[in-house]
Chain A
């Protein structure tokens, strides 16, 4: 008898071959099904409650997939591409997953028929290259010289993104806000310079954009209420210094052998704090913000001298204040007077205002206002959270569009155009690849089909209408959600930046290729199984 050779660790799960590819494909399709209904303006939301009981309501593909806690290895690829789409362009996360699922679904029949995956992969690669080229070719460039035109373009892109979100009704309002906020930024368009603050209560339309910084009133000590709450052109000091009466060194101990020394020590401690405060006061600062706590003594000191202070300011808020108002974050109060004032920031107006039940500090009219803050209002926490995610998507799209001025029409139009081009192309090649490219072309139709299905239209009917329009070279015809028909979406101003589509196509194809190329999964059991094995061994002995 042959001796049995154990190569893998006990309990390792391995499966391979054609059936493995097929099983991976079904897993991916199962995941795709989960987010299928969120696509488009008639897409629905999902409510997901996690293990800790926190509820999230979302329509964003990446968010949903993240919360589903997918453990299947192949299906996880989809989560990753959704995430990468989110990171790269911020929107289109649902469509990228749908597209991957559909490519895989169409490839499935070929695998079943015994076609080798590498051939399929090669064909998909070719088709992808072709598709991206086509997108670039037909994308319309909008002249950016005219600020007014640029604005119009950006607003339309933002509107398209927002139309599938919870705030679709208010999309005019919010698209303006998003564009305003992005245009306030500097060339690099850093995302973290747009702050979003959420205050429950109020209606959506009460959300507003602050050209500058706003943050919630921090915890305050007695004396705070006596401080002035409004300054015109204040001088702002941003500190990273603790202004509290406390032990300067934690592990120090003082030994006294004389009572008279006692008072000296106490005085010394006070003078450390007072020194700091006096220096600040002497420098003529009106508003003091600190990342570290500002204690009650300091609060009262400032109140006495008509200065405003806020301690424990969140770091990113402080940074944004710095960006907006200028100045530097000060880590020591020495040399304050020496440098010629450039350590301090300023702005037109500082004010504390009540929003809902919260109080907010506003810094407006900042000289270097390369930052913006959105204050979002709405009925419930989950509601505002979803609004924030939607606006994030819109901001990302607008940022992309600012850098990249070519656009395509959404609502399934670009997908139909690509589908047609690829189908025409496939007929020109001999060999197996013809079939695969045709299948790839068909996969693009999933987007308009799903849009119709979610809206409750007859998908086949609409798709046929679209195919006919596209055959007549009306490349911008897409689904008209409002009237259950097809329409020229370029004229209807359903616009998306071309780069979003290019990224989606490449990401989806790559993911599909990746999944197709895997023919074996080896799953090592969790290490927690080990002690139980050891325990078994112990028992045997």
Chain B
């Protein structure tokens, strides 16, 4: 069969070039292409498999600059692995989109996709058309999703009783490095979300929650500040370290004589003029200070810097000030304190001031670093989670873990249906899908059965990571599930003696699980549908 990639010859036997750079282009076609995809997909999934579950291990990644990251968050691992293979890249995006949408379950989705691909390989060997496999997978996914809806339970969402929410957050945190203070972290996450959640619209604005980290102290020192923490200090060392009942002027104009934006030049020809200029500048400074004093502010937060003269004047007028506060922080402070951002001194009025009950400088041990903590704000629906930890890696990982926990709680606010984790819902779905498979008259039956097997890969990995004999544990649980008709039985990763996940309160959100299954299925369909890959040759690089 003549095809592009092989050479075509004209009547004199000379090769005819049809494509640009044809000789150097690489091409994979047909079943070979499928095999190579599956291999790549499996390789990526295998990397992640060991980080699944509460007994999952972390990965250490060293970036080209020598930065070290230690994490067990699937999306982070994949994005830092710099996968080159095209199919691998698709899996990376898969975990990223799970991360964007749900925030948790990024490892699980990749493991599931990998397992689906692995089982597809066996079916391909049997000679089943790849699209029929994909069709079968989608049928199976539909069955699984319907079953999930059936076994899902509605969760009480009560602002007074946060315990259930905390339990869910704990499930997420259970697999992270910070599970030493699981409870505390979960409480922090839940409180933070509850602080900013808009219960009416069932929406949570993440921009109101800031996660700050600082190396030093212990993980237990992590705290939730109902307010804003800024990595800045007062501009003058002699300013007071603590302000109570602060009225804050939030400025985005520098403390210096105003300059026109148009290019300008001031010709000074004599001493008189020069003195005038000095006078003018001085006058401007006093004017500014006066404007602030008049508005009644007793604290100044400024986006820009001020020069020493202004600094001194502020000090002498007993106006503590903070300079070089970044744009997003200024905004957070403004929202928290109910103040308005003021772009010009002329516009400063008493109404535009923000209010905070307590502002203090935090200092850390013996280091000379300080941070500013703004608390008891007027509208305290912004909050900051301030993470402490022994080293940078732990702090970073704790931040990621908290992010996951926050996402999970947010998802519960949006949709308060849950399923049980620990592989319980996967096993239950697998049983259901396998049952359905027998009812399908066409070849898709095989694909559906393969889907059921693939679903079991999550509990298998969980059991394996927890040090059990995976197949034995899984078959035990499966037998129990069928015998007791109880979809809440999962893998007892922590060896607590019961494998009823309800008793263990291992809970996951329904939308997270649904998302995992549907995303993985769609991606696998896409991969299976490709039968031809063309890569540019090395020569072009």
Residue numbers of A with Cβ under 8 A of B are 15, 19-20, 22-23, 26-27, 29-31, 33-34, 37, 41-42, 44-51, 53, 55, 57, 59, 68-72, 75, 166, 169, 200-205, 221-226, 245-249, 252-260, 262-263, 265-266, 268-270, 296-297, 300-301, 303-304, 354, 356-357, 378-383, 386, 455-456
Contact = CB atoms under 8 A, between A and B. Distances in A.
29 contacts: A22-B11, A26-B10, A30-B3, A30-B18, A46-B530, A47-B533, A47-B534, A57-B526, A69-B19, A200-B96, A202-B101, A203-B514, A203-B515, A203-B519, A204-B518, A222-B331, A225-B332, A226-B331, A249-B262, A254-B260, A257-B266, A259-B277, A265-B262, A270-B344, A378-B97, A379-B93, A379-B523, A380-B526, A456-B129
Given A57-B530, A247-B263, A259-B277, A51 B536 contact: yes
B343 A381 contact: no
Contacts of B89: 55
Contacts of A57: 526, 530
Given A202-B515, A304-B340, A380 B19 contact: no
Given A30-B8, A45-B529, A253-B265, A378 B522 contact: yes
A70 B540 contact: no
A30 B2 contact: yes
Given A44-B131, A269-B260, A200 B17 contact: no
B259 interface: yes
A226 B205 CA distance: 13
Contacts of A247: 260-263
B303 interface: yes
Contacts of B262: 247-249, 252-254, 265, 269
B263 A221 contact: no
Interface string B302-329: 0100000000000000000000000110
B29 to A, nearest CB: 9
Contact of B261 (A51, A245, A301): A245
A68 B265 contact: no
Contacts of A29: 2
Contacts of A30: 2-4, 8, 18
B20 interface: yes
B158 interface: no
B20 A45 contact: no
Contact of B518 (A68, A203, A297): A203
Contacts of B279: 259
Contacts of B1: 33
A445 B1 CA distance: 19
Interface string B81-117: 0000010011001101111110000000000000000
A33 B263 contact: no
A19 B10 contact: yes
Interface residues of B, number: 83
Contact of B2 (A33, A225, A258, A270): A33
B86 A47 contact: yes
Q: Provide the main secondary structure of the chain A interface.
A: mixed
A169 B17 CA distance: 39
B97 A224 contact: no
B100 A357 contact: yes
B331 A51 contact: no
B252 to A, nearest CB: 6
Contacts of A202: 97, 101, 515
B242 interface: no
B138 interface: yes
Contacts of A75: 18
Contacts of A204: 518, 522
Nearest to B135: A169
B330 interface: yes
Nearest to B137: A169
Contact of B525 (A15, A42, A166): A166
A37 B532 contact: yes
A247 B514 CA distance: 54
A33 to B, nearest CB: 4
A61 B102 CA distance: 35
Interface string B229-246: 000000000000000000
B207 interface: yes
A68 B19 contact: yes
Interface in B249-304: 252, 257-267, 269, 273, 276-277, 279-280, 303
